[in-house]
Structure 1
Amino acid sequence: MEATPTPDDMLLEELRRQRAELRESMSTLEAALAAPANGDRGRWAQRVHAATVELAGDLREHVEITEGPDGLYREVLETAPRLTESVTTLKREHVLIRGQVDSLLERVAAPDVEGGVDRVRALGTALLGRLVRHRQRGSDLVFEAYELDIGGET
């Protein structure tokens, strides 16, 4: 007889699914940034823009799953109030990451300016680096709260 999943189980499963989507959109952005821009900068910029828009959507979903009224952070704070500082840090990072996404979207709109492609790539790789570190801290938080590995880079 199978046990009925608890709300915690469902939340953590949703978090796993969403983490995989976010990782996929990060990979898509990384590939778009790495593609040659020499031949057709407009096409390159469109690809980077589309990948960034996809990432922005996955980020919005991540923030809703973690910060929403029934989100992970509320649950973590009820289960393990000792992790308040970690939750606060992750919430602050959401604001910084959103700002980086907005900056990248603004900059990719004008990649033809001298050095524009390099600047877009620098902004994009900085964003990806921050996201990787954020995801690691998020995994650490869940492990600290539940002694559960929610998945790495799969």
Structure 2
Amino acid sequence: MELLGGIQGMQHAIQTPVGDPAFGTRVSHAVAQLKEAFAVHVEETEGPSGLYAEVLDDAPRLAPYLSTLVGDHRSVWNALDELEGRLSGRHPAEAVRRDADRLIREVWQHRQRGADLLHEAYETDLGGET
């Protein structure tokens, strides 16, 4: 599953009414799928031959932005782990929904920052940077 699919799955799961007995199961399943998709995303971007290494080679001026994206990864992992913990505990469903919604926004923002970085690296002409 791609990251976009994981996000959409989470969005769909939290639309389940909180009083529905399937709410917790659906959100738990969505968290597991998002974690799997996010793990693939991190490997594809942070890995030794990943996207961030390529961007760093092509546009070294963007190194600080890459560090921000790596920090995003840690933050999203923490949020995923927290949400997973809340699901296994006795937290109110509405609080779980708010946390999941916050996580979704965080992942969307991360994706946008990544898209902005790629645009800056490959679409912006700085007059001969190598």
Q: How high is the TM-score relative to the length of structure 1?
A: 0.77
- Once superposed, which parts of structure 1, at least 4 consecutive aligned residues long, lie more than 6 Å away? none
Query: Which position in structure 2 is the counterpart of 1:143?
Result: 119
CA distance in 2, matches of 1:136, 1:56: 19
Of 119, 129, 133, the match for 2:95: 119
Q: How does 1:3-152 map to 2 (within 5 A)?
A: 21-40=2-21, 43-111=22-90, 113=91, 116-147=92-123
For structure 1, the 5+ residue unaligned runs are 1-17, 149-154
Q: CA RMSD in A?
A: 1.5
Q: For 2:20 and 2:3, how far apart are their aligned partners in 1?
A: 29
Give the CA deviation at 1:24.
1.4
* CA–CA separation in structure 2 for the residues paired with 1:128 and 1:39: 21
Paired with 2:20 and 2:94, the residues of 1 have a C-alpha distance of 15
In the alignment of these two chains, the number of paired residues is 124
- SS across alignment from 2:89: coil
Identical residues among aligned pairs (%): 36
TM-score normalized by the length of structure 2? 0.90
Counterpart Cα distance in 2 of 1:137 and 1:39: 35
Summarize deviations over 1:32-51 as a string: whole Å, max 9, x none.
111112131xx210110000
Q: SS at the partner of 2:14? A: helix
Alignment gaps of 5+ in structure 2: 125-130
Amino acid paired to 1:127: L
